Chains A and B, each alone.
Chain A
Amino acid sequence: MADVDKKMLTQFLLRMGDNTLILGHRVSEWCGHAPVLEEDIALANTALDLIGQTQFWLGYAAEIMGDSKTADDVAFLRDVWDFRNLLLLELPNGDFGQTLMRQFLFDSYQSILLPRLMKSSDQHIAEIAEKSSKEVAYHVERSAETVVGLGDGTEESHARMQAALDRLWPYVGEMFSSDEVDAAMAAAGIAPDPATLREEYDALIGKVLAEATLSIPDSDFTHKGGRNGATHTEHLGHLLTQMQWLQRAYPGATW
């Protein structure tokens, strides 16, 4: 493990793991409700991939926290203010188009971040990134193709995808808003400063959204407060009541 403040490293790992946990839970809400059977199964697969990645990130975070904590403790026994996920990922699903737009915006970010993390000075992080990156490569291919299909589709699907992009765009900037945790990770060679990923990200989504005939809103306004835990949206608490109720109602319950 690289020489770095453990509290900072834990924050970084919570950011990674809470992102995949919260999005994984949101995507799982589609199970049994997607517009067609094929998409239903594909979304459930994606949700499972994300929860699988969460086990690695939060498992490592729990290991560093010590106190014989597990990934389950970290996922199910923290409250809203302890979560470090992007606000984008805790927003309600909206319609199918909005769900896929959110997926695409996040998949694109992960597809740029994970290859950098594969070169992390922390061997464990490099291994998690390596394993996750194959799943993410498929996720971004699928979500990008769906965004293009629906954006450049019928009049209605185009309108819905543009509305989804307009709704979600103010939450994209948070991915790149660095703070002292990111500075510490970058200095230790553990993770890149996310601000340095923006150019590549804009190029990637710009290409796909142009193909989807969608216009990126002309605004830099950014909602923040998820990845540093300062101000989550009202939606996260409701999500947690669903996600955590079993462990809360029956502490320590196992299969």
Chain B
Amino acid sequence: MSKEWPLWEIFIRGQHGLSHRHVGSLHAPNAEMAIKNARDVYTRRNEGVSIWVVEANNISASSPSEKGPLYEPSESKIYRHPTFFDIPDEVGHM
């Protein structure tokens, strides 16, 4: 068994109404201490109102080597962007 504490990914909500954003990672023995460590490492300058922690090995990620099949097909499908509508002048800035 590894003696290292597990790695945790840290997500912080900067203010009410915004989403939690990934800010970095740190080590901690459990979720409670991960939140405390995140508070000490990432909110020292008043950066947050909420903290989420996720043990890093619980995150499944897409593989960089598959980026061709995964993302390239959408590059040529510009009709998926809602840019082909005529917007009436009365609507103003959107």
* A residues at B contact (CB < 8 Å): 36-38, 41-42, 45, 138, 141-142, 145, 149
Smallest CB separation, B3 vs chain A (Å): 9
* Given A38-B40, A42-B41, 20 extra CB contacts under 8 A: A36-B5, A36-B27, A37-B26, A37-B27, A37-B41, A38-B26, A38-B27, A41-B40, A42-B36, A42-B37, A42-B40, A45-B40, A45-B44, A138-B39, A141-B36, A142-B36, A145-B32, A145-B33, A149-B29, A149-B33
Interface residues of B in 24-76 (CB under 8 A from A): 26-29, 32-33, 36-37, 39-41, 44
User: In the complex the two chains form, is B41's CB within 8 Å of A145's CB?
Assistant: no
Closest residue to B5 on the A side, CB-wise?
A: A36
* B residues at A contact (CB < 8 Å): 5, 26-29, 32-33, 36-37, 39-41, 44
Smallest CB separation, B79 vs chain A (Å): 49
Bound-state Cα–Cα, A230 to B80, Å: 81
Taking CB atoms, residues of chain B closer than 8 Å to A45 are 40, 44
> Given A36-B5, A36-B27, are A41 and B41 also a contact pair (CB < 8 Å)?
yes
User: In the complex the two chains form, is A38's CB within 8 Å of B37's CB?
Assistant: yes
Cβ contacts A to B, 6 pairs, < 8 Å? A37-B27, A38-B41, A41-B41, A41-B44, A42-B41, A138-B39
Bound-state Cα–Cα, A145 to B40, Å: 15
Bound-state Cα–Cα, A67 to B49, Å: 43
Taking CB atoms, residues of chain B closer than 8 Å to A142 are 36
Closest residue to B8 on the A side, CB-wise?
A: A38
Bound-state Cα–Cα, A41 to B39, Å: 10
Bound-state Cα–Cα, A107 to B26, Å: 25
- Looking at B28, B32, B36, the one whose CB has the most chain A CB atoms below 10 A away is B36
Closest residue to A150 on the B side, CB-wise?
A: B29
Taking CB atoms, residues of chain A closer than 8 Å to B5 are 36
Smallest CB separation, B74 vs chain A (Å): 40
Closest residue to A153 on the B side, CB-wise?
A: B29
For the complex of A and B, list the 10 residue pairs with the smallest distance between their C-beta atoms, beginning with the closest: A38-B37, A42-B40, A45-B40, A41-B40, A41-B41, A38-B26, A142-B36, A38-B41, A38-B27, A149-B29
Smallest CB separation, B89 vs chain A (Å): 53
Taking CB atoms, residues of chain B closer than 8 Å to A36 are 5, 27
User: In the complex the two chains form, is A38's CB within 8 Å of B28's CB?
Assistant: yes
Bound-state Cα–Cα, A149 to B39, Å: 19
Taking CB atoms, residues of chain B closer than 8 Å to A42 are 36-37, 40-41
Smallest CB separation, A98 vs chain B (Å): 19
Bound-state Cα–Cα, A245 to B33, Å: 37
Closest residue to A149 on the B side, CB-wise?
A: B29
Closest residue to B37 on the A side, CB-wise?
A: A38
Bound-state Cα–Cα, A45 to B36, Å: 12
Smallest CB separation, A29 vs chain B (Å): 18
Smallest CB separation, A221 vs chain B (Å): 34
- Looking at A37, A38, A42, A149, the one whose CB has the most chain B CB atoms below 10 A away is A38
Smallest CB separation, A198 vs chain B (Å): 29
Taking CB atoms, residues of chain B closer than 8 Å to A41 are 37, 40-41, 44
Smallest CB separation, B23 vs chain A (Å): 14
Taking CB atoms, residues of chain A closer than 8 Å to B28 are 38
Closest residue to A48 on the B side, CB-wise?
A: B44
